[in-house]
A and B are shown apart, each in its own frame.
Chain A
């Protein structure tokens, strides 16, 4: 095809964009998993037969950008034995393209007049995937087999009919099989919907035109991406981030380090300096590491490209993840906490490195994920349950020119996951919320400050049970600020038992009792730029709003604000800002649970 008219091009392009949005809506409207439906811990998309990404969909970075590896695994296994109406299920980190075991992906090949043209995928975090404990984020499994059911590429639908024996085998090996079944049907139906829509597009415009348009879009995006990379000064930029520990070897941080080298219009992200693969469950499979690395670069390129990312965006980027490292573990390493514990560090390190390259496109680290899995019994119906949520996470990091939002969460999802509703949570789980609001001062200060830190408290009205803090992070490790902005403060989790706080560290399994109050205090986003350069009136407004204390305004921002009138003492402020600045820390007292600003301890 010689020339594609620009109107057809943008029409076809738009139809793909619309389709992935609709797919996402459909899964969330029909699934029952709290994670998939409410929190939207799910991903969808469309790929070419060779695995090239057509439309960069929305979702969790780790779940979909690496799908080309999953598609390769499907093709390697099935060869020519793929037919219309097939649906392939896979979750195995050691069969390409997958993340951790709870993220099940349903892949459907899309044929047109007998020819395989596309794949579509719906991947989402299942309520359960077997293994020694419910939920997925539990430390100390012996190996990957103990983490749950490993599903290599497996045909679960043929000719659009369920292979009942196969699904029966699978559901028999998970907890809450009926619930998982509901979600699986929602996911499969969504791939069927995608196939129907793709056929409509092909019918309307013809295969030649559609395929030519896709190629053209990939090329145009690649050109734009290369121009964008070329605008970054050549050089090597480093970033690093850590998770508190690996859950098995305790209290020893695990580091992800990246060297991003920009050379003309291409870019290499080399993770070779990262820690070796760990005994504990934090290891991140290569496909997921790749996906998070490239995905977290995208926001730092021209926002005008945001809606266009596809295979063309990926072509100029090389990611090096040496085998045997935490970003590419060897079988049978455990990977349960991959998306959060090492995954979010990949995103944070990449953000830090690229921020160094361009001050006008800097992004601070986001508040750490603060998840946990509670398993106990709901006395209202006698049924066992698992409760997890993103509700208690801190918020977005600042970017150059904008404060971080209070509310957006998890850098690894770029805020495509959501918080739940308190009322929904209380109806669904035997926990009563006591508090869910912003904690004063608990975010990274800066010219642009991070979004608010969160304090969350709830009382256990169910039975005694168990809590796994495996998806929690950030007690000792902090996402960085940029250009003099403060990092995200350290977090804490406590159980209040008869009023006395018991500290729960991250990546642990702990007994929990009826009547215990779970307290999660989570740092907000990091800041960008020096706090002493934040406009005085914004600091005063933050004090008035209770986001920043009078003391922090004075110590960190160098602004003297009257505690009653919230007026600024201009002269005192000039003096404060002119003097040499100390560095401060935001700490949580382990007795009173109060937050205070103290001078940063030397070293």
Chain B
């Protein structure tokens, strides 16, 4: 049976079909923000049409769909979520609004002429109730149920459709929160209720409350969407398994997701790094040894550029994320992003310097070449430079107007005393610099040398810009996968099905009670067994990864360490501590073995493996590479004002074993790849393009 992934992005909905034979088929449809299920079924419909089947028959033959969606992120960013009420501990009404005083992470301290933070729950919908739990887990004051009912009634009267219950120290004991949740559910079964410790059973109330509120804010819309999607799929003959792509890099059945809606943030971008790992692994397998240990997964779309640094095959996660102005502290795949994409606008800043982005023309009005706007974007510069085809953008679905691009780019150039061509080159270089800087920042933050990494470039715009960025950073190898423009969708084939559990319990290394920690893990395993049994997966199919967050006594930030064995005991504690000192030293250039360590949050990641992705290996080339030529374009390259006649190949007709010397272009209905002068490009066994500097 076939497997499907569908990734609903901001602009396009991507659909990949993995056939029984291992062949991959790629489809793209426009995203329909009003009702994303339309775009979902349009993409699926294109796939069905490809197989000359009615949609019902096609979906009836699909075993599993993995689905990523920007729905949650979009709702949050565009402020279209539910009317959320918050019930919190008496005396602590403003925790989320105060945000610990933290302003925009990347804003300058000297920019004060900005609006104050607007929390998702307005103050009148944030109500306090008498209750108190201590950090030890002891309930100091039982929940005042009468008051809770009165406050809940008030929220319901004001029209709240979601309620976040956020009590102090609920990570240590969720009793009061659960009691409150049950009461609210009894009073209003139709209301979406979230208890903070169920979303994030981890200490630090601002982070936990904010995350719970975000979850409640997007929860009702996610619930409705999931119901509608499941209903429509059933109607259309689908009887397989629907899995959702989560922020933490796992997939999960849809019913498990609706109660933890916040995990659907970043649902698409979280899959791209897995694609990179998988593709690089295949490449290594073909070559016969492991050359790509360290990967930079990059994805350049219409508005944003995402980066993930994969050191030694390990996809990094973070609990430090912000989504828009809101703090979201669940563990997420660490995919930092900047506003750099095909739609990024070029402008002149107050010091007379060229800037590109972070503002974007998006899909509408889109680049000047789309005919709706006058403002120059990266896509316009790429078009002026000859890199992308005016007549074959998305396989000819969108006609680009070169003249409009020229005019827009010329206007930018006029302000810099540059010709149109120079201006286009500057826009190209500037946006590459923005992306390169993000990569450098992300890498050095983690203490890695970017030159030891292989870049795996995806997204509609990745192919044009990847080699130029790699050259700036002295990255030796760039892989542009055959599925580049649908990289997240591809990644979704490779994800583990899983859930993550956490328990906070702060103890110094000298005060550890191994039985207590063992009980925490037993509790988490028990919970996991129940959760997986519900979706028909037995305990014997599960794998566990136990980690603990550690730091030196007194510090405020933790390092996550893998437990040296199935459980922590007096024997392997020394190993854990040794590993901690070593990892700390690797991260920060020094360590302090003379200082005691403490263990704070214990985590368990429970997964069931995905169905293996067996991709078909195409036959090696028999004809020469000339057979794949589809024409040529007059291109401009770095530092030269003369245009160069540059051959353009049809990716569809390139075969394993072919190689191309830059400058050259490789066109595909979903993207274009630029092989700049000085690069040598090989077509690997899966028809991925592998570029190296010569």
From A18, A56, A416, A417, give the contact of B437 (CB < 8 A). A18
B150 interfacial contact with A, CB 8 Å: no
Given that A7-B433, A299-B112, A406-B97 are known contacts, is A221 also in contact with B102, CB under 8 Å in the complex?
no
From B92, B113, B116, B440, give the contact of A436 (CB < 8 A). B92
Q: How far is the CA of A406 from the CA of B353 in the complex (A)?
A: 35
Q: CB-CB contacts of B552-596 with A at 8 A, as 1s and 0s? A: 111111000000000000000000000000000000111010010
Q: How far is the CA of A437 from the CA of B441 in the complex (A)?
A: 37
Q: Are A30 and B588 in contact (CB under 8 A)?
A: yes
Q: Are A407 and B100 in contact (CB under 8 A)?
A: yes
A551 interfacial contact with B, CB 8 Å: no
Given that A26-B588, A192-B589, A419-B100 are known contacts, is A396 also in contact with B116, CB under 8 Å in the complex?
yes
Q: How far is the CA of A308 from the CA of B350 in the complex (A)?
A: 10
Which residues in chain A, 139-155, are within 8 Å of chain B measured between CB atoms? none
Distance (Å) between the CB of A397 and the closest chain B CB? 9
Distance (Å) between the CB of B266 and the closest chain A CB? 21
Residues of A within 8 A of B206 (CB): 421
Interface residues on B, range: 35 or more
From A10, A220, A415, give the contact of B430 (CB < 8 A). A10
Q: Are B556 and A547 in contact (CB under 8 A)?
A: no
Q: Which chain B residue has the least Cβ–Cβ distance from A409? A: B101
Residues of B within 8 A of A432 (CB): 134
A119 interfacial contact with B, CB 8 Å: no
Residues of B within 8 A of A408 (CB): 101, 103, 116
Of B117-125, B303-311, B391-399, B524-532, which stretch is located at the interface?
B117-125
From A302, A418, A457, A547, give the contact of B350 (CB < 8 A). A302
Which residues in chain A, 1-16, are within 8 Å of chain B measured between CB atoms? 6-7, 9-11, 14-15
Which residues in chain A, 167-191, are within 8 Å of chain B measured between CB atoms? 178-179, 182, 185-186, 189
From B203, B426, B437, give the contact of A423 (CB < 8 A). B203
A399 interfacial contact with B, CB 8 Å: yes
Q: How far is the CA of A584 from the CA of B354 in the complex (A)?
A: 51
Q: Are A547 and B123 in contact (CB under 8 A)?
A: yes
Residues of B within 8 A of A546 (CB): 123-124
Residues of B within 8 A of A78 (CB): none
Select the residue from A189, A421, A435, A544 with max chain B CB neighbours within 10 A.
A421
Q: Are A220 and B351 in contact (CB under 8 A)?
A: yes
Distance (Å) between the CB of B693 and the closest chain A CB? 16
B622 interfacial contact with A, CB 8 Å: no
Interface residues contributed by chain A, number (CB under 8 Å)? 89
B627 interfacial contact with A, CB 8 Å: no
A484 interfacial contact with B, CB 8 Å: no
Q: Which chain B residue has the least Cβ–Cβ distance from A33? A: B554
Q: Which chain B residue has the least Cβ–Cβ distance from A546? A: B123
Q: How far is the CA of A178 from the CA of B595 in the complex (A)?
A: 8
Residues of B within 8 A of A417 (CB): 101
Q: Which chain B residue has the least Cβ–Cβ distance from A302? A: B350
Select the residue from B93, B98, B205, B437 with max chain A CB neighbours within 10 A.
B98
Which residues in chain A, 332-377, are within 8 Å of chain B measured between CB atoms? 361, 363
Residues of A within 8 A of B146 (CB): none
Given that A408-B103, A424-B204 are known contacts, is A304 also in contact with B112, CB under 8 Å in the complex?
no
Q: Are B135 and A438 in contact (CB under 8 A)?
A: no
Residues of A within 8 A of B95 (CB): 422, 436
Q: Are A399 and B113 in contact (CB under 8 A)?
A: yes
Residues of B within 8 A of A414 (CB): 109-110, 112
A32 interfacial contact with B, CB 8 Å: yes
Distance (Å) between the CB of B583 and the closest chain A CB? 13
Residues of B within 8 A of A215 (CB): none
Residues of A within 8 A of B92 (CB): 422, 433, 435-437
From B117, B123, B207, B444, give the contact of A22 (CB < 8 A). B444
A570 interfacial contact with B, CB 8 Å: no
Residues of A within 8 A of B203 (CB): 421, 423-424, 427
Q: Are B135 and A418 in contact (CB under 8 A)?
A: no
Q: CB-CB contacts of B120-141 with A at 8 A, as 1s and 0s? A: 0011100000000011000000
Residues of B within 8 A of A186 (CB): 588
Distance (Å) between the CB of A92 and the closest chain B CB? 26
Distance (Å) between the CB of B455 and the closest chain A CB? 18
From B103, B116, B433, give the contact of A406 (CB < 8 A). B116
Q: Are A437 and B204 in contact (CB under 8 A)?
A: no
Q: How far is the CA of A433 from the CA of B140 in the complex (A)?
A: 12
Q: Are B554 and A32 in contact (CB under 8 A)?
A: yes
Q: Are B123 and A403 in contact (CB under 8 A)?
A: no
A328 interfacial contact with B, CB 8 Å: no
Q: Are A14 and B433 in contact (CB under 8 A)?
A: yes
Residues of B within 8 A of A30 (CB): 555, 557, 588
Given that A37-B555, A403-B116, A409-B101 are known contacts, is A305 also in contact with B205, CB under 8 Å in the complex?
no
A426 interfacial contact with B, CB 8 Å: yes
Residues of B within 8 A of A400 (CB): 113
Q: Are A7 and B354 in contact (CB under 8 A)?
A: yes
Residues of B within 8 A of A390 (CB): 101
Which residues in chain B, 339-377, are within 8 Å of chain A measured between CB atoms? 349-355
B99 interfacial contact with A, CB 8 Å: yes
Which residues in chain B, 644-687, are within 8 Å of chain A measured between CB atoms? none
Residues of A within 8 A of B124 (CB): 544-546
Distance (Å) between the CB of B367 and the closest chain A CB? 21
Q: Which chain B residue has the least Cβ–Cβ distance from A32? A: B554
Q: How far is the CA of A418 from the CA of B109 in the complex (A)?
A: 13
Q: Are A407 and B135 in contact (CB under 8 A)?
A: no
Q: How far is the CA of A426 from the CA of B94 in the complex (A)?
A: 18
B78 interfacial contact with A, CB 8 Å: no
Residues of A within 8 A of B116 (CB): 396, 402-408, 451
Q: How far is the CA of A417 from the CA of B101 in the complex (A)?
A: 7
Residues of B within 8 A of A418 (CB): 100-102
Q: Are A421 and B100 in contact (CB under 8 A)?
A: yes
Q: How far is the CA of A447 from the CA of B414 in the complex (A)?
A: 42
Given that A417-B101, A451-B116, A544-B124 are known contacts, is A306 also in contact with B589, CB under 8 Å in the complex?
no
A193 interfacial contact with B, CB 8 Å: yes
Q: Are B205 and A421 in contact (CB under 8 A)?
A: yes
A580 interfacial contact with B, CB 8 Å: no
Residues of A within 8 A of B205 (CB): 421-423
From B101, B134, B426, B445, give the contact of A6 (CB < 8 A). B426
Q: How far is the CA of A285 from the CA of B552 in the complex (A)?
A: 35
Q: Are A438 and B93 in contact (CB under 8 A)?
A: yes
Q: Are B93 and A306 in contact (CB under 8 A)?
A: no
Residues of B within 8 A of A18 (CB): 437, 440-441
Q: Are B354 and A31 in contact (CB under 8 A)?
A: no
Distance (Å) between the CB of A62 and the closest chain B CB? 13
Residues of B within 8 A of A433 (CB): 91-92, 168
Distance (Å) between the CB of B680 and the closest chain A CB? 24
Q: Are A22 and B445 in contact (CB under 8 A)?
A: yes
Q: Are A189 and B94 in contact (CB under 8 A)?
A: no
From A305, A435, A545, give the contact of B91 (CB < 8 A). A435
A323 interfacial contact with B, CB 8 Å: no
Residues of A within 8 A of B589 (CB): 189, 192-193
Q: Are B588 and A306 in contact (CB under 8 A)?
A: no
Q: Which chain A residue has the least Cβ–Cβ distance from B428? A: A7
Given that A32-B553, A179-B554, A193-B589 are known contacts, is A10 also in contact with B353, CB under 8 Å in the complex?
yes
Residues of A within 8 A of B37 (CB): none
Distance (Å) between the CB of B201 and the closest chain A CB? 12
Q: Are A405 and B590 in contact (CB under 8 A)?
A: no
Q: Are A438 and B94 in contact (CB under 8 A)?
A: yes
4 further A-B contacts with Cβ under 8 Å, apart from A306-B109, A399-B113, A414-B112, are A307-B111, A408-B103, A421-B205, A426-B135
The 5 closest A-B pairs by CB, nearest first: A405-B116, A32-B554, A306-B108, A435-B91, A545-B123
A-B contact pairs, 6 of them (CB 8 A): A18-B437, A197-B444, A299-B111, A422-B205, A423-B203, A433-B92
**Interface residues in chain A, defined as those with a beta carbon under 8 Å from any beta carbon in chain B:** 6-7, 9-11, 14-15, 18, 21-22, 25-26, 28-32, 34, 37-38, 56, 58-59, 178-179, 182, 185-186, 189, 192-193, 197, 217, 220-221, 224, 298-299, 302-309, 361, 363, 390, 396, 399-409, 413-424, 426-427, 432-438, 451-452, 457, 544-547
